[in-house]
Amino acid sequence: MPARVAFLLLWGLIWGPETRAATFFDPRPRLLADSTTLTCQAQVPTQDFELFKDGVVRDHVHLDTPAMEHRFLLAGETGDTHGLYRCRSGFGSGWTQLSNLLEVTEDGSLPPPLLSVEPVSWITPGLNITLLCQGARQGVTFSLKREGDSTFLEVAEAGPDGQATFPVHQAGNYSCSYRTQTAGDPSGPSATVTIKELAVPPPPRLDARDRLPRILKPGASMTLECVAPLSGVEFRLQQGKKDLLVPMSSTSPDRAFFHLNEVALGDSGPYTCSYRLRQEHSAWSRESAPLELVLSDGTLPAPELSAEPPSLRPEPGARVRLRCRGPRAGLRFALVREDTAGLEVRGLLSPPGAEASFELRAVSVVDSANYSCVYVDPAPPFAGSVASEPLELRVDGPLPRPQLRPLWSGAVTPGRDAVLRCESSVPGVAFELLRTGEEEAATSVGAHGPSADLELPYVGPRHAGNYSCRYRVWGPGGFVSELSDPVELLVAGR
């Protein structure tokens, strides 16, 4: 008799536990199973379906007419059903990305489902959230439980997509499980999802749409973007504690653009934004981190900018201090960097005396630029200086090489994901992963911090080899680093 087959669904890239801020259409199909077939459910009608096993194509079908799903027999030509499966469906003139990961084993136990939360993992008065319990099989019954309760809170039948939703109104630690209609024993519980209760919603993020902060002159315009962690909310912009009535627009329900037209001296900020649910008596969220504009009318004398050490060609890795001296204490100083990409304020300081000290740590060739500084009077009439004489800082030598390290040990099982972490001392760059002998990046990702995780999904024998990473900045004055030392990726069974 054939061995009993159990199905373990590994969601990883598709759903994951993270919160989604805004609703969007995801064309990736879902892969479900029963005892004899694997069903690839498309999001739009298509004539093409492919089933993958252990990182390589196992079956390809082209139908005569478009369909929403296709059933693949679990037993292939070899009869060996054990492995890691994914599918994809036709989309436009190409293919969707791969579906969720589904593992077929000989273990007859029911593997735990995945529990995720939408849209956020907290509750506040007036906000309704939902827990989504997802399994690998159709025709099952899901149960939701909260830590500390002796019984299940709710029970729901799985829909045709193998999942069930549960509304949540109380804080706590939640898990879900399921059982088949024919088996009596339930699956193991899902990983726990924690729902917090907040008196007010958490803060949004406030950014400028232009390269900011730059030095603005009176009469200039600026657009600020406020992004909330959920959709369909009401936004406001404040300067200090004053609500600002400025033109506003939006491109999606989780963000708003505030248009500051013809800013005047005194409009430097700091600016904050917040949001609230579109319900009566809803509380405003906590304020975003403040954002400050630098406005100068150029009516005050220029400050003096000097370097310490005085050499303007420091060695790579050295520490450089740029000192900006004004005529008196009580001023606000800004350090300005100018390169082929334009002007950018690199720091703001309000020192107790008449001099501000800006520190550049571990300088490299990316710090090569012309630097100047200005100061503004934070008291009425808010006048500002002209810029200091620029200092040209030049750092020779190549960019610091990044470091690459695998986030696994040994050989990678075919069908699993391989993640490599690329680390650099240069922030705000795009990281790329390259296979030895290939010029096109295998994957890339932008990062605000000094590192990024580069993922090779659903590894198969074709992925074996040596990999290195590099980082780059695009646009005017762009640069690219040298490659890191290589890391070898071994695929088990190859």
106 Rama class: left (phi>0) / alpha (psi -120 to 50) / beta = alpha
Q: Please provide the CATH number assigned to the domain covering 6-105.
A: 2.60.40.10
pLDDT digits (tens, 9 = 90+) for 250-296: 999 999 999 999 999 989 989 999 999 988 788 999 999 999 999 99
pLDDT digits (tens, 9 = 90+) for 43-68: 999 999 999 999 999 999 999 999 99
Look at residue 9 in the predicted model and tell me its pLDDT: 40
d(CA 441, CA 468): 10
Beta bridge partners of 145: 175
* DSSP states along 21-51: SS-------EEEE-SSEEEEEEEEEEEEEEE
pLDDT digits (tens, 9 = 90+) for 120-177: 999 998 888 999 998 877 778 899 999 998 888 888 888 877 889 999 989 999 999 9
pLDDT digits (tens, 9 = 90+) for 326-379: 999 999 999 999 876 677 888 999 999 999 999 998 898 888 999 999 999 999
Query: Could you say which architecture CATH assigns to the domain 205-293?
Result: Sandwich (2.60)
The sign of the torsion formed by the CA atoms of 182, 186, 192, 194 equals: positive
Higher pLDDT, 155 or 226: 226
Look at residue 16 in the predicted model and tell me its pLDDT: 31
- Tokens 């005047």 locate to 264
Q: Please provide the CATH number assigned to the domain covering 114-197.
A: 2.60.40.10
Number of H helices, E strands in the chain: 0, 39
Percentage of residues in the chain having pLDDT higher than 70: 90
d(CA 246, CA 494): 62
Q: Report whether pLDDT(476) > 80.
A: no
Whether pTM > 0.85 for this model: the answer is: no
Q: Report whether pLDDT(19) > 50.
A: no
Look at residue 184 in the predicted model and tell me its pLDDT: 66
Look at residue 350 in the predicted model and tell me its pLDDT: 96
Q: What is the mean pLDDT of the chain?
A: 87
Fold: same for 304-393 and 403-489: yes
Question: In this structure, which CATH number among 2.60.40.10, 3.40.50.970, 3.30.930.10, 3.40.30.10 belongs to the domain 304-393?
Answer: 2.60.40.10
Look at residue 185 in the predicted model and tell me its pLDDT: 77
Average pLDDT of the segment spanning 219-242: 93
Q: Are strands 418-423 and 369-376 parallel, antiparallel or unpaired?
A: unpaired
Average pLDDT of the segment spanning 447-470: 91
Higher pLDDT, 82 or 10: 82
- Pair 48, 89: CB distance under 8 Å: yes
CATH 3.90.1310.10 fits 403-489, yes or no: no
- Tokens 């050499």 locate to 311
What are the extents of the domains in the chain?
A: 6-105, 114-197, 205-293, 304-393, 403-489
Name 292's Cβ contacts closer than 8 Å, sequence gap at least 6: 213, 268, 269, 270, 271, 348
Higher pLDDT, 25 or 414: 414
